Amino acid sequence: MEQGRPRQGLGGESLLFLTDEQLRQGIEAMFFAYRGFTADPDRILAELAYGRAHHRAIHFINRAPGTTVNNLLSILGVTKQSLNRVLRALIGDGLVESRVGVTDKRERHLFLTDKGRALEASLSDAQRTRMRAAYKEAGPEAVQGFKRVLEAMMDADMRRAYAKLRETGA
């Protein structure tokens, strides 16, 4: 079970110790962990008749206020019809505001209202609390490794989107 500890000091080239069994454990851990990762916000959203799609939109609008619909589209990786359905609900419920662009009037810039920010805070509080607990339990070294593996698991274009977000965010 625990016999598979990496031979340390051999460098990144010699990862032959990775058996299929160990890889599968990683795959399953990812599956279960993702469920845990979304469980708390899901509970909050269910009470409001929203879903994960709404959460994602709210998250990234909060993340990059004033972002355009097209921009959001490429981050989320869904069709505009799909996003539009969600956005319409959020705007209709007064969580999101859509402002016509100044320089380019075709564009709509998206912002959270106070109400939207309140929900975002509640959702991300729940998620951060779990994240913080997991980080604390796993320890600081583990967190670095966690992030490194996650980044390595992304597609090239996702990596670009993520890197771009981090520029803006930090």
CB nearer to DNA: pick between 86 and 123: 86
CA 77, 168, 166, 141 torsion: positive or negative? negative
Q: Which is nearer to a second copy, 99 or 125 (CB)?
A: 125
Residue 119 interaction partner, one of a second copy, DNA, none, beta carbon < 5-8 Å per kind? none
- Choices 79-87, 93-101, 109-117, 121-129; region in contact with a second copy by CB under 8 A: 121-129
Question: Under 8 Å CB-to-CB from 111, ≥6 apart: which residues?
Answer: 61, 65, 66, 96, 97, 98, 99
Q: How far is the CB of 4 from a second copy (least distance, A)?
A: 9
Token pair of 119, please? Answer: 């929900």
The contact mask relative to a second copy for 60-99 (x = CB under 8 A, - = no) is: ---x-------------x----------------------
Angle of CA points 49, 52, 53, to nearest 5°: 95
Candidates 43-51, 65-73, 107-115, 148-156: pick the segment binding a second copy (CB under 8 A). Answer: 148-156
Amino acid at 97: E
Q: Name which of DNA, a second copy, none residue 140 binds, using a CB cut-off of 5 to 8 Å depending on partner kind.
A: a second copy
DSSP 70-108: HHHHHHHT--HHHHHHHHHHHHHTTSEEEEE-SS-TT-E
109 close to 87: Cβ distance less than 8 angstroms: no
Residues at the contact surface with a second copy, assessed by CB under 8 A = 1, 5-8, 10, 12, 15, 17-18, 20-21, 23-37, 39, 56, 63, 77, 124, 127-128, 130-155, 158-159, 161-162, 165-166, 169-170
